[in-house]
Chain A
């Protein structure tokens, strides 16, 4: 059983079980208030699933791509929760989770997963179905592309407003069962170098 957290778009938290599936999922598409809401969603997901922290065997976290300020909140929370229960952290590429859920729900053929990256850009990954272990086959990305210049590919374009943590968690469960971990590096997929303007640090304080 895993706790899963993704803040690459809005905030999504889930408790999943390999056999029982998604036991609880809580979240919002609000892309601004990750730090405020992440704790409440963790609490709610655990309560709805009827699970105590020490019942979990690990924590899965969506590593993006996503706008960095929000993305970091979920990864920091997932890391810290894993430290708190003394269990492993399992990094998952957020687009992989979107693709897995799309194929699971009956989608077929090529898939282009698109999420907003702010600054008039999208983050894009390309997929070609599920493999024998039911894991999505990523054939391109993630890369950034301007809003009005997304490459048109054969197959389906799917714009994900919220990356569901339930899918992040189930993907981690499947990969573990198949002996395919790690699925991703424990490194946030920022896709952008930091802006290097030093903080003016003026009037930081009132």
Chain B
């Protein structure tokens, strides 16, 4: 196998995006995504069975589209990489079954990898300066909110903290719904917050009190924030007063962003790691990027944000991580791996 710059096809089906990406070493050749997001909109959140059915329909056409975009033949592929977890079990299984069969049909090795570490690997595909380690990584989406310490992408990743209840993206969806805004909530809240005062209402910052920091220094909690917004709106309505939508949206968003960035910057400072990487779909949030940049600059931390198409769930990041494992000399995964919905970040390869 070509271990210098392997051509890797990556398959990602952990949530509602069917992603197929193709890389050659660290060069991005294709990144094709089919999303079932619209099918979930009327339910206000991802319906696992709907997502899994959509993956099965989308996978074949998405592989074909990625090959066309990369302008390569399947026979040129050196290896197949696939997300083993974490994620929605039924959705993951579609990708795992397909990836194994594809690798066997091509008589090529397969690399089963960790979705969260894949988010970090996405940064390698950026044309700018290469990913430096150690780095802290803040990964925020509708499915996960995790803070990682990455000492070595293929050998040493540690979970510093994660959400103990809702994911940040999920909090956006739920608050959007209670404000009467459509799904997905992130871009809707962003739009509603335009012109709003982020300091108008002081919503709670979860797990930031000294007593909480003892056990949950780098963990997150957003369910209390969601409840606080609901209560504030109810009280306004009960008093017969108008609800200032822009102020509520801006203040809620500020609370989420504040706690995300505060904890990430604290981790960098306390661990002596002057690098912070953002990943996950919530990176699309303009205020998150803005605040992260300000506070990283102030703390002397180099902030890296991959292009948005590589931040949301995608197959290219899975291919990129697979390519790194190959280039580092790792053996392929044994064929008996499964889908692991709670795969820990310490298991970079399964």
Contacts and interface: CB of A to CB of B under 8 A. Distances in A.
Contacts of A36: 336-338
A188 B162 contact: no
Interface residues of A, number: 45
A175 interface: no
Contacts of B101: 5, 38-39, 42, 76-81, 84
A22 interface: no
Most buried by A among B46, B89, B102, B342: B102
A77 B95 CA distance: 9
A206 B86 contact: yes
Q: How large is the interface on B (under 10, 10 to 19, 20 to 34, 35 or more residues)?
A: 35 or more
A129 to B, nearest CB: 33
Contact of B106 (A68, A84, A195, A204): A84
Contacts of B170: 201
Contacts of B59: 76, 79-80
B142 interface: yes
A196 interface: yes
Contacts of A76: 55-56, 59, 93-95, 97-98, 101
B105 interface: yes
Interface string B163-202: 1111100100000000000000000000000000000000
B60 interface: yes
Interface stretch (B37-45, B207-215, B303-311, B320-328): B37-45
Interface string A106-129: 000000000000000000000000
A198 B44 CA distance: 7
Contacts of B344: 206
A40 B105 contact: no
B93 A34 contact: yes
A77 B102 CA distance: 7
A179 B203 CA distance: 69
B335 interface: yes
B68 interface: no
B90 interface: yes
Given A35-B338, A68-B90, A76-B97, 19 more contacts: A35-B92, A37-B336, A39-B336, A40-B336, A69-B90, A76-B93, A76-B101, A79-B59, A83-B105, A84-B101, A84-B105, A196-B43, A198-B45, A199-B47, A199-B88, A201-B142, A201-B143, A203-B342, A206-B159
**A-B interface, 8 closest residue pairs, ranked by CB to CB distance from nearest:** A84-B105, A198-B45, A39-B100, A194-B49, A77-B101, A80-B98, A73-B97, A81-B101
Interface of A: 5, 33-40, 42-43, 46, 52-53, 68-69, 72-86, 188, 190, 194-199, 201-206
